[in-house]
Amino acid sequence: MSARILDGKSIAEQIKQEVAKETAELRGSGVQPGLTVVLVGNDPASEQYVRNKVKACETLGIRSEKITPPTSISTAELLAIVKDLNARDDVDGILVQLPLPSQIDAQRVLLAVDPAKDVDGFHPVSVGNLVTQRPGLRSCTPAGILEMLKRYQIPIKGARAVVVGRSDIVGKPCAMLLLHEHATVTICHSRTQDLPGVCREADILVAAIGKAEMITADYIKPGATVIDVGSNKVDDPAAPKGSRWTGDVHFESAKEVAGAITPVPGGVGPLTIAMLMANTLKAFRLRRGATAVVA
């Protein structure tokens, strides 16, 4: 029997509807959450990401703003822009789109963002709040994974969870969120001994290693829930454009063993922007001493 397919699009739509409902109530009382995206230069992929984010804001009733400094901007000039956004009360979320041009000290710029407006959840203060379970903004993709597990009523408490990948953006925060939900968590990486054997212990297996179709059926415990965070473009002569997008999991073999699995595309991906919108609303609430409907 094939695994149940976990549809990220439907979960993302639920989250967006909840955000839209709350923003409508806020606008009725004369206030509106605001997100500002800083896009440096003309990277086509970044421009597409930003378009999607701005469109989501417009749909959900969040005020959006896009600042587009030239590729030649200096670190000092970009820091000045961030400083101005930090000071503006109408800006609840600040998102500096990566990658930044080579002359920019990206670390300095990201550290300059006010943690209260860090809707990406990347700032060390945000990470510290996550680790110590204090109120704050969580990294969007891991937060989306938790929402998916909860809304599909997949048991986390007491479950054995294995996260393959230790990035600051996905692997580590995802492991911490699962730990806070009382899972027993193992973080694996490229130097883990007997990786397939460790993965086969997982009731919940999160693949975020960045290698196309690396996780095959022999990594998966029968009946396990498999969350594929990967997004890899691979050559495929049979595909219409000569290439296709695939995850870190070999979907066709994995679905015959797993109990539930996310597809690529259409699994984790749609949740990231939905959680960015939820984070903007959450930042609005936290900055005013309240909590958002969507955690």
CB within 8 Å of 294: residues ≥ 6 apart:
15, 18, 19, 22, 278, 281, 282
Other residues' Cβ atoms within 10 Å of the Cβ of residue 33? 29
Q: Is the pLDDT of residue 295 over 70?
A: no
- pLDDT of res. 1: 64
Q: What is the mean pLDDT of residues 73-92?
A: 97
Among 45-54, 77-86, 101-110, 117-126, the range scoring the smallest mean pLDDT is 45-54
- Quote the pTM value: 0.93
CATH fold for domain 140-269:
Rossmann fold (3.40.50)
Q: What is the mean pLDDT of residues 273-283?
A: 97
CB within 8 Å of 91: residues ≥ 6 apart:
34, 35, 36, 65, 85, 117
Spatial separation of the C-alpha atoms in residues 23 and 248, rounded to whole Å: 36
Closest to 215 in 3D by CA, of 267, 171, 261: 261
Structure tokens at 132: 């110590």
- pLDDT of res. 290: 63
Among 138-152, 214-228, 235-249, the range scoring the smallest mean pLDDT is 235-249
- The domain spans of the chain are 30-115, 140-269
Q: Is the pLDDT of residue 291 over 60?
A: no
- Residues known to be catalytic: 53, 97, 120
Closest to 249 in 3D by CA, of 227, 274, 279: 227
- pLDDT of res. 251: 96
* Identical fold, 30-115 and 140-269: yes
CB within 8 Å of 232: residues ≥ 6 apart:
210, 211, 212, 213, 245, 246, 247, 248
Residue range 144-192, pLDDT digits in tens: 999 999 999 999 999 999 999 999 999 999 999 999 999 999 999 989 9
Backbone angles phi, psi at 246, to 5 degrees: -140, 165
CATH code linked to domain 30-115: 3.40.50.10860
- pLDDT of res. 65: 95
User: In which band, very low, low, confident or very high, does the pLDDT at 274 lie, cut at 50, 70 and 90?
Assistant: very high
- pLDDT of res. 242: 85
Q: What is the mean pLDDT of residues 84-98?
A: 96
